[in-house]
Amino acid sequence: MSAMAASRGRLAALAERAGHDSPLALARAHSVYAAFAVLIVIDLLFTPGFRNVFVIRNLLFAAAPVILVTLGQSLTIGTRGIDLSVGSAMGLAAAVMALALAGGAWLAVAAGVGAGLAVGLINGGLVAALDINPLISSLALLVAARGTAEALLDGSRVSLPEGGLFDVLGIGAVSVIPIVAIIAVIVAGLVAVMVRTTVFGRSLLFIGANKAAAILAGIKVRRTLLLVYAASGLLAGLAGVFAAARLGASDPNYIGVNYELDAIAASVIGGTPLSGGRVSILGGVAGVLLLQVLGASFIMNDINFSYAQILKALFIVAALYLQRAGG
């Protein structure tokens, strides 16, 4: 009886300790939300026109595809990998979608998403089956997928038909919130639940924390890695469809360019360490919004947009420094 009480007391003490992390760990875990909140307050006070609903709607339209690729990126980083191909996979998805327009909007969208998935499967195959460094496999795909997208459309922009599905994705909104943003948030929720509760989610974190131990523990490492990169490609495909619908055209030279960098930056700022084993989906979404609002604030204050880029770089270094200090 008393032994049970003692063990319960010990459990309570443990739980309490877990709840009261060091201030530095707290700062690390919540810095992205704090920074986002501060930025919003500053913008509401000082940035002319920031309260305008059109501004918010445009921001969310721009954020939706970045959120999708950041989700995939966070998963690959969680396995201690990286996916540089997501921007080019977006471009390829948009290009394939443009070619499949004859079959109707739904088929075209499916073909685009399928193209993204194909890039992810190739990448996952190279990483999982052949043990190739994900940095270099996805770098090769970054170059090759962009080249394929440009070759498919001969480098020119193809307009998407107006009306129907493309209008729903490109301009559709429920009051202020674009439909694509709602979809992105739902997908983010699903991914977050998956990481927390499923065997697949636990496995990918295990692999990121210690691959050798994961193999010894009987985790299906190859299959998990293949699925993670396939998911990243699939999400990039969807992001490419969203971006093209917003633009009203498929442009192989424009869609998705440098998105991989934004996705990595948002993941890291959001608290997903490059060393693997931990993923913060909510943080990643906040990271995307932070970077988007940051860019918009500079433009709306008539400050050279390039300063936003410099500030972005400083944010990344600061986030990284906090992670390092937290262990």
Per CB under 8 A, residues contacting other proteins are 82, 84, 126, 130-133, 135-137, 139-148, 150-151, 154-155, 252, 261, 264-265, 268, 274-275, 304-310, 312-314, 316-317, 320-321, 324
CB of 252 to other proteins, least distance (A): 8
Q: How far is CA 296 from CA 29, 63, 247, 254, 255, in A?
A: 25, 11, 18, 19, 19
CB of 273 to other proteins, least distance (A): 9
H helix runs in 179-258, sequence order: 179-197, 199-209, 211-216, 221-247
Cβ(75)–Cβ(232) under 8 Å? yes
CB of 316 to other proteins, least distance (A): 4
Could you identify the residue written with the tokens 């990271």?
A: 287
Q: What whole-number distance in Å separates Cα of residue 160 and Cα of residue 296?
A: 27
CB of 163 to other proteins, least distance (A): 30
Closer residue to other proteins, CB minimum distance, 13 or 310: 310
**Helix 259-269, helix 305-325: angle, nearest 10:** 40
The values of phi and psi at residue 22, to 5°, are: -65, 155
User: DSSP 3-state helix, strand, coil percentages of the chain (rounded to 5)?
Assistant: 75, 0, 20
Q: How far is CA 287 from CA 37, 264, 270, 312, 320, in A?
A: 12, 10, 5, 11, 13
Report the 10 Å Cβ neighbour count for 59.
18
Closer residue to other proteins, CB minimum distance, 28 or 146: 146
Closer residue to other proteins, CB minimum distance, 182 or 311: 311
Q: What is the CA radius of gyration of the chain?
A: 21
CB of 136 to other proteins, least distance (A): 5
Closer residue to other proteins, CB minimum distance, 170 or 287: 287
Closer residue to other proteins, CB minimum distance, 5 or 130: 130
Closer residue to other proteins, CB minimum distance, 293 or 316: 316
CB of 239 to other proteins, least distance (A): 20
